[in-house]
Structure 1
Amino acid sequence: MRNTVLIPTYRRPQDLSHCLSALQAQTKPVDQAIIIVRDTDTETWQFLNLFSPYNLPLQTVTVTQPGVVAALNAGLAAVTGDIVSITDDDAAPHPDWLEKITTHFQNDSCIGGVGGRDWVHQGEKIEDSSCLIVGRLQWFGRVIGNHHLGVGGPREVDVLKGVNMSFRTQAIGKLQFDQRMRGTGAQVHFEMAFTFALKRAGWKIIYDPNVAVDHYPARRFDEDQRQNFSEIACTNLVHNETVVLLEHLPPLRRITFLFWAILVGTRDCLGFVQWLILFPSQGAIVNKKLRASLRGRWQGWQTNQLKIEN
């Protein structure tokens, strides 16, 4: 099976260099490597003009619209492989990454997606906790991630993580990443919409912790700055989650999800119960988080209704 690797990148040439070096070291050679670059990203273009690909079949795709969704959709249009594997420019796949991915797809023709663990490096420290529950959607709409902490054997999941996910191109067909996702960079939960769509089409989604990448979270150049709270980023995150879940869940579970999300919520997407829990430790900022979360829920509902009406 031929492998294509997609790498969306923006203004992180040093990280991209590390990623490309890891692809060069794969035990199963890359058949096609596509780097998607913003037209205004002079830093990356300068790096690519100097980069010697050695045995790496490198191809660039230019995109003018900001955000990972536009980048990946542009990249998908150029894919020629039987498998398309996606990683971030600040990640370095382990040497057997493509080999293990290919084995899963070869062994079961019903598998549409494969993902694995991203070992998160925070400076000199690696997050090495462990979780057995990974990538699951609970009946009332809560999504459990933990892809960076997963242990155990391969198993079916509901959601993969964008830094480490692969798909059978036959399963993708004409499917694209959801352009309703908000944000000008990371567009959080874009991968959730994609994997849910494949599951609705009947494909298996597999998580295998041994399909691994090292992840070195780098600086973002958008409103989502990881550790620093942004009302805009929070609203976008909650909007995206709401749009995806309202699309995926059946009618009764949609209602349950909205009640749970507004009443309880999570630490990232606050409801009133989480607001009460966090207020003693976080003070006034938790009011902004609740306001941004409720705004995101409402805007996500509106976006979902627009699609229904159209």
Structure 2
Amino acid sequence: MQQLPVSVVVVSRGRPDSLRLCLTGLARLHYRNFEIIVVADPSGIDAARALPFSYDFRLISYDEPNISAARNIGISAAAGEVVAFIDDDAVPEPTWLNHLIAPFDDPDVAAAGGFVIGRNGISWQWTARSVGPDGEATPLTVDPVRPTILTPPPGHAIKTEGTNMAVRRWVLKKLGGFDEGFRFYLDETDLNMRLARGGYATAIVPLAVVHHAYAAGPRRAANRAVKDLSDIGRSSAVFWRKHLPHAARAAAEAALISAQRRRVLQQMRDGLLEPRDVRNALRSLRAGLEDGRTTPLIPSAQIARRQDGFRRFPSLATRPPVNLVGGPFGSAALQAQAAELAQQGHTVTLYLLSATALYHHVRFQPEGYWLQTGGIFGRSLRDGAVFQLSTRKKRSEKERLRVARVRESHLNSERGGAKG
């Protein structure tokens, strides 16, 4: 079956190193009919252009701190039937688009969202959720493997994450894209609410997986310590004005202030913030709330279709998956081998497992391969056994099978191999 043409939009500002890693991951997707559109500040454009495969990108310079406006620019530049979004501090599993786009074979599906793994590469950061008119998300139970197509009850929406979602382009055009009043935070949630209000169905796709690192920026430090909450306050107030009855807004505001106070106080107890940082953060939250209560609502964006056609990206994933296994001794040679195999077009995972019970971590490397570290006896899932007796060979094979459906399956099936 012919794959739908997909435009992948990446927005970046002030994080060229993260963007470079994200694009390196996108370049190795197993999907065969996608284009990559980068909307970034000058440092991001330079970082993207320096990559050896940059001639196949669509690069658009934009240097304003407004993720919604930047995404709308990307949508206007997109020539695919579906537009997918990923953040610059995220990296997709190789089969991300294969899984995320599959539900669009159903003409009733207007949007799709996948699952997101946190910075340790193991634990879920976000899975399936619904969201109400106050912007608060609630967990949903869905099939852990197959896509689940959902239409929410009135007043609610199916939550998709801005770092792992896709929407039909004609739907985005009809809805006016992202609301540019949301410079950051709740931008995709507002779109979810408008999709629900229009009666559109959303698919939740557990096997469409990205890893999200929470890179440092103006709002948080590298250790995730809060620096500024003004955009959270502002976007929350704008969101409530659009979706929440007036009588319920005071309670929503009180709940937000309470939650953010608990957050920064916990960070102070953890040694991440000083008392003055807590005061400044809460002051910025209140300033943002006041701004959001009074700022004019912005009209819908005008989404145009690009004139120069679809620019298909020739994926670098051209050869069968390879798995390498070793321990601390000889790891440098194995990493060099992994980098060389990735350069040749293989989807490579390197398991460096020590004879310990250390917890596992997974990282995508700038050289284009996946690295999983930890102990042979250690835990690789949050709810897994703390200690499991095994050998390096058996444990690495168990880990390979655990991730095969998101890292290997589509290339295996294209070449006649068994699916993971």
Indicate the TM-score class for this superposition, using the shorter chain for normalisation.
0.7 to 0.9
Q: 1:50 to 1:145 in 2, by over 3 A?
A: farther
Partner residue of 1:191? 188
User: Of the candidates 25, 29, 32, which is equivalent to residue 32 of structure 2?
Assistant: 29
Q: 1:205 to 1:241 in 2, by over 3 A?
A: farther
Q: 1:243 to 1:45 in 2, by over 3 A?
A: closer
Structure 2: which 5+ runs fail to align? 151-156, 299-420
Partner residue of 1:300? 292
| TM-fit CA distance, 1:228 | 2.7
Question: C-alpha distance in 2, partners of 1:287/1:79?
Answer: 43
Question: C-alpha distance in 2, partners of 1:260/1:127?
Answer: 36
The superposition leaves residues 223-279 of structure 1 with CA deviations (integer Å, 9 ceiling, x where unpaired) of 44472333xx31220220221132123x3xx422x1322443365445xxx69x97x
Q: What pairs up with 1:229-268 in 2 under 5 angstroms?
A: 229-230=226-227, 233-249=228-244, 251=245, 254-256=246-248, 258-265=249-256, 268=259
Partner residue of 2:114? 116
Q: What pairs up with 1:39-188 in 2 under 5 angstroms?
A: 41=42, 43-53=43-53, 57-106=56-105, 108-121=106-119, 125-126=120-121, 128=123, 134-138=128-132, 141-144=134-137, 152=144, 154-155=147-148, 156=150, 158-174=158-174, 175-182=176-183, 187-188=184-185
Matched, 1:219 2:220: no
Matched, 1:205 2:196: no
Does the 8 Å CA contact 2:99/2:205 hold for their aligned counterparts?
Answer: no
Does the 8 Å CA contact 2:116/2:209 hold for their aligned counterparts?
Answer: yes
Question: C-alpha distance in 1, partners of 2:255/2:87?
Answer: 32
| TM-fit CA distance, 1:2 | 0.7
Question: C-alpha distance in 1, partners of 2:209/2:95?
Answer: 8
SS of 1:217's equivalent in the other structure is coil
Question: C-alpha distance in 2, partners of 1:57/1:242?
Answer: 40
The superposition leaves residues 41-86 of structure 1 with CA deviations (integer Å, 9 ceiling, x where unpaired) of 2x433333332228x8421112243332222121111110001011
Does the 8 Å CA contact 2:131/2:158 hold for their aligned counterparts?
Answer: yes
Q: 1:8 to 1:138 in 2, by over 3 A?
A: closer
User: Match for 2:136: what amino acid?
Assistant: V
| TM-fit CA distance, 1:290 | 4.9
Q: 1:129 to 1:171 in 2, by over 3 A?
A: closer
Question: C-alpha distance in 2, partners of 1:117/1:18?
Answer: 19
The list of structure 1 runs, each at least 4 consecutive aligned residues, that deviate by more than 6 angstroms after superposition, is: 280-285
Does the 8 Å CA contact 1:262/1:294 hold for their aligned counterparts?
Answer: no
Question: C-alpha distance in 2, partners of 1:298/1:77?
Answer: 32
Question: C-alpha distance in 2, partners of 1:179/1:261?
Answer: 22
Question: C-alpha distance in 2, partners of 1:261/1:45?
Answer: 39
User: Match for 2:158: what amino acid?
Assistant: D
| TM-fit CA distance, 1:176 | 2.4
Percent sequence identity over aligned pairs: 20
User: Match for 2:38: what amino acid?
Assistant: I
Question: C-alpha distance in 2, partners of 1:61/1:170?
Answer: 21
Question: C-alpha distance in 1, partners of 2:254/2:115?
Answer: 32
Number of aligned residues: 280
Question: C-alpha distance in 2, partners of 1:91/1:126?
Answer: 11
| TM-fit CA distance, 1:168 | 0.7
Does the 8 Å CA contact 1:135/1:145 hold for their aligned counterparts?
Answer: yes
| TM-fit CA distance, 1:142 | 4.9
Q: 1:244 to 1:290 in 2, by over 3 A?
A: same
Q: 1:60 to 1:30 in 2, by over 3 A?
A: farther
The superposition leaves residues 137-179 of structure 1 with CA deviations (integer Å, 9 ceiling, x where unpaired) of 246x2512779x9983544352211111111112112412222
Q: 1:65 to 1:298 in 2, by over 3 A?
A: closer
Q: 1:245 to 1:130 in 2, by over 3 A?
A: same
Question: C-alpha distance in 2, partners of 1:5/1:208?
Answer: 17
Question: C-alpha distance in 1, partners of 2:5/2:124?
Answer: 34
SS of 2:181's equivalent in the other structure is coil
User: Match for 1:158: what amino acid?
Assistant: I
